[in-house]
Amino acid sequence: MAAKILLIALLALASSHALASDPSPLQDFCVADMDSKVRVNGFVCKDPTVVKAEDFFSTGLDKAGDTGKKLGSNVTAVNVNKIVGLNTLGISMVRIDYAPKGLNAPHTHPRATEILTVIEGQLFVGFVTSNSDNGNRLFTKMLKKGDVFVFPEGLIHFQFNPGHTNTVAIGALSSQNPGTITIANAVFGSKPPISDEVLAKAFQIAEMAAKILLISLLAMASSLAMASDPSPLQDFCVADKASKVRVNGFVCKDPTVVKAEDFFSTGLDKAGDTGKKLGSNVTAVNVNKILGLNTLGISMILTVIEGQLLVGFVTSNTDNGNRLFTKMLKKGDVFVFPEGLIHFQFNPGHTKTVAIGALSSQNPGTITIANAVFGSKPPISDDVLAKAFQVDKKTVDWLQAQFWADNNN
């Protein structure tokens, strides 16, 4: 009788919740169709009637990766490129092998939080907070077998094996394709390189020293290969307005033909026509004006109000990674910086410049690379930084001794 009463009560309740939000994914699974020529945010779904168990399977994580490179570490990724069933599921994993004194250099995952478990050996790990509050704080911990540590999404972090035996760790990441931005590679190994005038000012060293540092770092720019999800599922998904395929948003343009102009618009210095009845005019800058806005939900849009700016951003390590997209902006021009990617603005002129930025968060956070890497509190070990940037400890100690300016108010 009690069970019947409970059933009746629940049936009555069942009609009162007729509204629910669509989670993501929007079906049981969306196995990636890697053969499809259609480019979307993530991958097109394979016909579910031909999906098989192998689409959710991968093997080989019992095999150690090659740690014979300069950094003495190797990342074996298990993401949507390895397991096509991960598409839209918002998770992936990695195996990381570390030789004695091996380092997984300071890096970020622009689209994922990482939870790391030590399987064998020991690891010295840490992450650096953003510039806000008492920012650029370094949180470190020595881990042993069985220990677990979390690296928050988007923050610079590292792992270092200080011991004399090999270490193995498994990481889970909250994205099918979390992306990896290795700081040294992105800042000093971008293609084409970031202007040494920009880097000299950012790292507070002379231009000649910046060139020397750049040359030494370019030698190690290919040392790491690895890669949140929700949206977007890659660095960018520039809208292909010519495509006849209809999706939520727009189909992605082939990333190999994307250019800086896809993130750019001009004309906001021109007044709109206010001669209509209401006496006002709205000039929209949306995905129809800036194709690079597709899937970004804005991120950061910068508008030049006065003067000029050289701007740019660097993509993550994936594909033909660490590509630099730059553009010279003048008054009224608009440029978009995709979420989580390293970017900069530089005034090359002799007059003051003013710009207005819009960001897709009430508190977006800022991580100034030089401050976070060389100015954290307490400082990151010079052993870690010397290995990550392939310079001697004296250079690291000198950089850490500088006063790292912060222009965020």
Q: How far apart are CA 398 and CA 86, in angstroms?
A: 45
Contacts for 27 with CB less than 8 Å, ≥ 6 apart: 45, 48
Contact criterion met (CB below 8 Å) for 213 and 200? no
Residue 310's nearest CA partner among 405, 221, 196 is 196
Which tokens hold the place of 118? 């030590």
Residue 216, SS3 per DSSP: helix
Which tokens hold the place of 55? 């689409």
Contacts for 86 with CB less than 8 Å, ≥ 6 apart: 32, 79, 80, 92, 176
Q: How far is CA 375 from CA 130, 217, 228, 396, in A?
A: 11, 20, 27, 11
Q: How far apart are CA 299 and CA 297, in angstroms?
A: 6
Distance of CA 365 to the CA centre of its chain: 14
Distance of CA 58 to the CA centre of its chain: 25
The verdict on whether residue 157 carries a ligand-binding annotation is yes
The verdict on whether residue 107 carries a ligand-binding annotation is yes
Contact criterion met (CB below 8 Å) for 123 and 143? yes
Element (H, E) at 197: helix 196-202
The verdict on whether residue 74 carries a ligand-binding annotation is no
The verdict on whether residue 114 carries a ligand-binding annotation is yes
Which residues are annotated binding-site positions? Answer: 104, 107, 109, 114, 157
Annotated binding residues for oxalate: 104, 109, 114
Which residues line the annotated binding site for Mn(2+)?
A: 107, 109, 114, 157
